[in-house]
Structures are given as structure tokens and as C-alpha cells.
Amino acid sequence: MPHRIKVVMKESAREAAVEAARLIAAVVRSKSRPVLGLATGGTPELTYAELARMHREEALSFAAVRTFNLDEYAGLGPDHAQSYRQFMQRHLFAHVDVRPWNTRVLDGLASSVPAECEAFERQIVAAGGVDLWLLGIGGNGHIAFNEPGSTVDSRTRLVTLTPETIAANSDGRFFSDPAEVPRCALTAGIATIREARSIVLLATGRKKAEAVRQSLHGLFSERCPASLLQDHPDCTFVLDSEAASLLGKA
């Protein structure tokens, strides 16, 4: 099955981040009540900085925007410095005019995880669905915390992180010691993500090149979760030259 994914290649990580911000801003400007799906991690940091700049200098308003975040570590509360809620505060929410009550990050301390996951799914539907979901990609092809083996019909749920993901998140960027990284997370499922009207996957750096190649040119397979975007009607991969470096090679 040939994939339907649009590929945009930029020379630098910065240009790729700005392109992703441009795609997000276009949705924010074109809808009266835009609904964004957001990612955390190192990759989108520059994109959020660019959105904050557009807010300051180009009057890009988030006042009517609703946001849903992909995932959150289980066991970390919203005030924990390494929680994804705090990441979003630091990198985006504190710098734009989004209304706090319109931002939804899964609660890592929820007393009932199934109830929390069901509420998250219901709230996306009630908001009218996600207009654009921004994704990163793991070196193993994961999207959100859907590790290899996650099914195409998976929904928001509790998952166990793989040792590679724990290692990737404890290389000093977020946690300094693997022992500090929570072993489980709440994550939107593959089906939750695939229901977005559009998807932008941002990948930068050499470490992502093989996962990007597999996602675009490998089989549509649960072994590489991002390959499960191949048949999405409006999915764009925005890549820098390093992340794109294995495309076109067998």
C-alpha cells in the first residue's frame, strides 16, 4: 500500500520547527473554535517558541483554542516539574493567551485511570474532534506513548514504557537518571490520534532517520506505530535533513 503522507523537508531543525508552527497557526487562524492536539519532548520546543513569537509579534491569538495533550507520566501530578503539564506551561501556555480551562492534559494522579481515559476521549468528541494533532516520533517509531505492538484501534489508556523510551527520556534532557523516569504513562491511542482531521509529525535529527524511513517506506505495521498513519487522508511529516537522510535508500 503506497502511503498518503505528505513529506516536507527543510534543511535545519529550526526551519522544520517553524514550518510546523506555520501549519498550526494556519489552523488557529482559519477556525472559530480551533482544537489542537499537542506533543511534548525535545522536538516541539522550537515550534512552541515560534508560536509564542507569532502571538507576541503577529497577533496570533489562542483565546478560542482548545488543546489536548498526547500523554502524561503516571504518578506525576500537574505540579511536578517533569510532568507534561508543566512542560506545556513552560514552553507554550505561559507565553500565549490560551485559557487555562481550555487546556487538557491527562491526570497522572487520577484515582481511576480508566475513568480518566474515558473522560479524555469524551471531551475530544465534545470539542468537535481535533483539527490538527502535532506529533513527535520515538527512535522506535512510537507516537505519543504508543510503543511498538500498539494496535491501530487502541484508545487512551495506561501503558508501560519500553526500556529504550525510558533511556531516551533520561539522557539528561528531562530526567538525569533512568531510575527517576516513571515506568508507566497515560497516552492517547493510535485510533484517538488517527481521528484528528489533520496530523503533523515533526522529526528532527539523525536519531529519528530510521524510524522516519520505516514509517514512510516500511509496512503498515504495529511494529512501527507511526507507519499506522500511512493511510491518513491529511498527514504531513515535517523533517529536517538529518531525519530525512535515509529516505530514498533501500
Residues engaged in binding ligand F6R (CB under 6 A): 39-43, 70-71, 136-138, 142-145
Shortest CB 186 distance to ligand F6R, Å: 11
Among residues 19, 71, 72, 131, which one is catalytic?
71
Q: Which is nearer to ligand F6R, 57 or 177 (CB)?
A: 177
Q: Is 71 a catalytic site residue?
A: yes
Shorter beta-carbon distance to ligand F6R: residue 39 or 65:
39
Residue nearest to ligand F6R (CB): 136
Kindly write down the DSSP assignment for every residue of 110-165, as one continuous string: -S-HHHHHHHHHHHHHHTT--SEEEE---TTS-BTTB-TT--TT--SEEEEPPHHH
Grid coordinates in use for 11? 534543511
DSSP 105: -
Q: Partners of 35 in the beta sheet?
A: 66
**Nearest approach, Cβ of residue 204 and ligand F6R (Å):** 8
Question: Which of 3, 55, 91, 142 is flagged as catalytic?
Answer: 142
Looking at beta carbons only, is 20 or 144 nearer to ligand F6R?
144
Strand 157-160 relative to strand 184-187: parallel, antiparallel, unpaired?
antiparallel
List Cα–Cα distances, 220 to 91, 152, 183, 204, 227, in angstroms: 33, 10, 27, 22, 5
Shortest Å distance, C-beta 143 to ligand F6R: 6
- Comparing CB distances to ligand F6R, the nearer of 64 and 109 is 109
* Residues near 54 by beta carbon (within 8 Å), at least 6 away in sequence: 21, 25, 60
Annotation marks residue 231 as catalytic: no
For the chain, give the longest Cα–Cα distance: 48
Q: Which of 116, 131, 147, 222 is catalytic?
A: 147
Number of other CB atoms surrounding residue 112 within 10 Å: 9
For the bound state, the minimum distance from the C-beta of residue 222 to ligand F6R, rounded and expressed in Å, comes to: 16
Closest contact distance (angstroms) between CB of 30 and ligand F6R is 25
Place of cell 489533520: 198
Distance CA 34, CA 31 (A): 5
Q: Residues 3, 199: contact at Cβ < 8 Å?
A: no
Beta carbon nearer to ligand F6R, 111 or 137: 137
By annotation, the residues acting in catalysis are 71, 140, 142, 147
